[in-house]
Chain A
């Protein structure tokens, strides 16, 4: 499993630089990689955090904290992207637990005008969870998801791309989605909203 953040964020325009980066794995762990990870995940993480916490200010705190922590342990983390999401979630849950019984007068924890409506939070949380789970998948699985969702390929085309038989593509996507559904359910996310 190659937990390169880039590979799971394939944008059409990225061809040139992705190739570059992939070609020089020796430097993939330098500051630029972490910076790139920050660039690509900042928004997703922030949404996730807002979805979990519901307060923009607190969410920003947590995201910042997560990145700074990742920086500390950068060398030991195998899958930084998954790590980010997982850590952020843990931080958020800790925060919720610690602050559950407090009466909050702190400005930062008060709902600000700009905070999203409650019904959006569930959606943001769910998407964040999915991102986390995707990041924690094996590279092969992620590739399937990417081909299916990002490039919008049919089973047939995916099969040609990957060399996996059509039936197996169907089988694996079936289990991937089902696994996601079950995990989300266990995490208490209904995810029925779109």
Chain B
């Protein structure tokens, strides 16, 4: 089996057992340990890697082949008609004359009659067969009763019915739209269309006074048949549509093509009644075909689909100029119609969302503009689809992640989703920019506002309220779970401001957790610390510039109509000179847990590195702490700092962790030795959570903040990755404007660690704030990925009293935005402002760069490696963080890019770690 004459690489024999293990690894059956082992083997023997890649490829293909298709393709309507006609007759009927397409027969009177007979025959046969093994739901019986009533009405109601057809017509249109756009439950949408098509013949036929038995036989199979078919594929409605087109050739069925064509006006319908104008419905039929087939041909190319969504609706509108008001009136007048048609397939549709939502279909859908009701198509869908920016209702725009936005346009599920979401999303929308400003004063106010917004206030009213709330400037803090998902509309809030805080701890912790075979704690995932964990090789600024920037864009790999924008800034090499002394207070955790050999080694190494960075003018104070803090060394000159690790080594490690007491002492000592000319910092080295004294993070944060206000910064170094109280340390360093890093093993305390320490000790830029001003004429909405805890208010950007993060010399920092760029918009995407205090000159520096509009943003898999790296890291973080949008991130979609990263950054350890993490994530996900 192993040889293939065309491919020499296949001829290598692989031991069958090993092969099976590789397959098991691809299928996600193996443990992390086993995977690592196999990876190791694969690097030794390239043929294993080749084999694995091949199996992975097949694995992906089989996955595709087995999975139900996302956007089924269909033959052209006339072809389908022909096939169905041919096979529909099998084998009971001789398919004589079937070769002619029904459409060609439209004008031939004699043939029409024959055809009509045939249709009766075949639909009878079909219905009898179907009825024999499918039951009719009670619901549909009701439905029939109501339609019977309609049918029995007098000529005035013919008018009504004509309108009804128009409605159906538009409904069909929207169905078509929905169908081609999306994907998940097309059956649901198509089914109602089915019903109605079957209904039309039935009603008219009533006029012809056929026996009711026949009627029943004819109508009843409609839904069972479709439900049966739907079970197997989602493609049904069109086929029935074709049947009805055929039926339309019968004298009595002029109305049916009208419904099918979806474009017939009331007059056309009437003419159809007179049997004289078959051309009209036929033409309409072609009209539909024209509208639908291009859509069918879109193979999931997101942008185009979305844009073309407008077309069918427009067409529908052009044909049927019924007043929306009338239609709604009709809907109300015919209670059986909307709700029941919607609900009719319910019993067969397990996959559907909760049905009760559909009962409220009239109200709901105006808001969400799901395309499958008449109002939606007319009022909402029409306008909304034609302009991406403006017309979506406020609440939707704010609250939904792009995933849900697009699906609510097209999806039946949307009412449900929207109904369940508003409180959450509005919070995000309002608060996202003011994230970390704790003050719950307006809490009640805010929630009242939110409730109202949920009810769908007008955009103007919301504007007002939003600005009021802004003025109050005290929005309630969102929980982290809510904030990440919200996009912000540029029209509402065009400015995004945050403190450019660089760390990689979250990445390191997640990596360690995955390596242990655990799922990383979602609360510890901070996307900005993922994509800032890498060196992107961004260009350094010239000496005069102090800071440089690189901005690049690419299409979002997963979201439609979204671009990723990577904004990288890099500080110049001229940091604070070594001339400025450093006054360092090191707080060393000496609790029992630190006694582990690897941790002692890590700490010793860390202290050595630290000592190596200090000069004669620097002073170090070392405090060990467990239950009680004790001073180990005070004001040690930097050139004697090599003794630090010796001091640490002589300290017994025992007892709990009383961080509060330790901080107090450190604060006292730091203040005692504080010097305005020096850089004053406290560095905490710990391996775990504070468990004695006051361990309340808020309390501790206050202490840190107070110290910071007195000019003392606070850094934290976590030792080991398990048991680390990540959130506390992160929050403390944020308050202290310091660094946060982890030291997992002694080997970690390498050049990178030294650089981080040096960066912490010699910041080149302080108070680094970034403000991005988006151009609402070009940007629909945007989202800053990560930095949830570092966001600032717009006005604080130039308020230098508001603290922000530091950057070291030659340090780069990256921010990643997800931006909806409007293709028909105007101008550039926006501007980036960076403001910081130049540590060398101690004056504030502000720079700005333009984010240019790139009409043809590169596809993600063709983007620059740096862009791919940042995007992949961010998406992985979001996936790990979980939540709604995470479910939509398919790791397998990222696999090709990750593979290319593997090659691109073959020597970059960090990136290789990311690749390994990615593989572990995939295995954990069982893919």
Q: What residues make up the interface of A, taking CB atoms closer than 8 Å to B?
A: 5-6, 9, 11-18, 20-21, 23-24, 27, 29-32, 34-36, 38-44, 46-47, 50, 56, 60, 63-64, 67-68, 71, 74-75, 114-116, 120, 126-127, 130-131, 134, 145-146, 148-150, 152, 154-155, 170-171, 173-175, 177-182, 184-186, 190-194
Contact = CB atoms under 8 A, between A and B. Distances in A.
Contact of A145 (B62, B88, B187, B231): B62
Nearest to B227: A17
A174 B926 CA distance: 16
B54 A42 contact: no
5 closest Cβ pairs, A-B complex:
A14-B231, A43-B72, A114-B297, A194-B60, A130-B65
A74 B91 contact: yes
A184 B74 CA distance: 26
Nearest to B350: A13
Contact of A63 (B28, B68, B75, B293): B75
B260 to A, nearest CB: 18
B188 to A, nearest CB: 10
A181 B55 contact: yes
Given A31-B88, A31-B90, A181 B57 contact: yes
A178 B75 CA distance: 33
A16 B230 CA distance: 11
A183 B130 CA distance: 40
Contacts of A64: 75, 79, 82-83
Interface string B76-118: 1001101110111111100100000000000000000000000
B888 interface: no
Interface in B344-369: 348-351
Contact of B926 (A36, A114, A154): A154
B926 A152 contact: yes
B87 A31 contact: yes
Contacts of B63: 149
B57 A190 contact: yes
24 contacts: A11-B231, A18-B231, A31-B125, A35-B88, A36-B229, A38-B87, A39-B232, A44-B69, A64-B79, A74-B91, A127-B61, A145-B62, A155-B27, A155-B29, A173-B27, A174-B23, A179-B1, A180-B61, A181-B55, A184-B58, A185-B7, A191-B54, A191-B60, A194-B61
A49 to B, nearest CB: 10
B23 A20 contact: no
Contacts of B73: 42-43, 46-47, 50
Contact of A130 (B20, B64, B89): B64
A16 B229 CA distance: 11
Nearest to B55: A177
A42 B72 contact: yes
A116 B89 CA distance: 34
A20 B84 contact: no
A13 B95 CA distance: 33
B4 A182 contact: yes
B231 A31 contact: no
Given A13-B349, A42-B72, A184-B61, 9 more contacts: A14-B232, A23-B133, A31-B126, A43-B235, A74-B90, A131-B65, A134-B66, A171-B20, A185-B4
Contacts of B650: none
B24 A170 contact: yes
B896 A40 contact: no
B895 interface: yes
B297 to A, nearest CB: 4
Interface in B20-57: 20, 23-24, 26-29, 53-55, 57
Nearest to B71: A43
A71 B86 contact: yes
B55 A178 contact: yes
B54 A181 contact: yes
A176 B64 CA distance: 16
A194 B79 CA distance: 31
A128 B230 CA distance: 21
A190 B6 CA distance: 12
A174 to B, nearest CB: 4
Given A60-B75, A67-B87, A149 B82 contact: no
B894 to A, nearest CB: 10
Given A24-B133, A35-B84, A170 B23 contact: yes
A31 B132 CA distance: 14
A10 B701 CA distance: 57
Contact of A39 (B67, B133, B233): B233
B195 interface: no
Nearest to A146: B66
Contacts of B79: 60, 63-64
Interface string B204-236: 000000000000000000000001111111011
Given A67-B87, A68-B83, A170-B23, A16 B61 contact: no
Nearest to A14: B231
Contacts of A47: 69, 73
B20 A174 contact: yes
B580 interface: no
B475 to A, nearest CB: 42
B129 A155 contact: no
Contacts of A36: 228-229, 232
B538 interface: no
A30 B23 contact: no
Contacts of A146: 66
Contacts of B120: none
Contacts of B926: 152, 154
A16 B75 contact: no
A13 B348 contact: yes
Nearest to A131: B65
A89 B926 CA distance: 33
B69 A180 contact: no
Nearest to A43: B72
B61 A126 contact: yes
A41 B233 CA distance: 8
A113 to B, nearest CB: 9
B24 A34 contact: no
Contacts of B23: 170, 173-174, 177-178
Given A27-B129, A60-B76, A38 B55 contact: no
B503 to A, nearest CB: 33
A75 B91 contact: yes
Contacts of B228: 17, 20-21, 32, 36
B134 interface: yes
Most buried by B among A6, A39, A44, A64: A39
A130 to B, nearest CB: 4
A176 B68 CA distance: 21
B62 A149 contact: yes
B139 to A, nearest CB: 15
B233 to A, nearest CB: 4
B542 interface: no
Contacts of A40: 232-233, 235
B61 A182 contact: no
A44 to B, nearest CB: 7
A111 to B, nearest CB: 12
B668 to A, nearest CB: 58
B299 interface: yes
Given A39-B236, A181-B57, A194 B133 contact: no
B89 A31 contact: yes
Contacts of B848: none
Contacts of A194: 57, 60-61, 892, 895-896
B612 interface: no
Contact of B134 (A20, A29, A39): A20
Contacts of B239: 35, 38-39
B82 to A, nearest CB: 7
A31 B54 CA distance: 41
B59 interface: yes
A39 B235 contact: yes
A43 to B, nearest CB: 4
B294 interface: yes
Contacts of A20: 133-134, 228
B661 interface: no
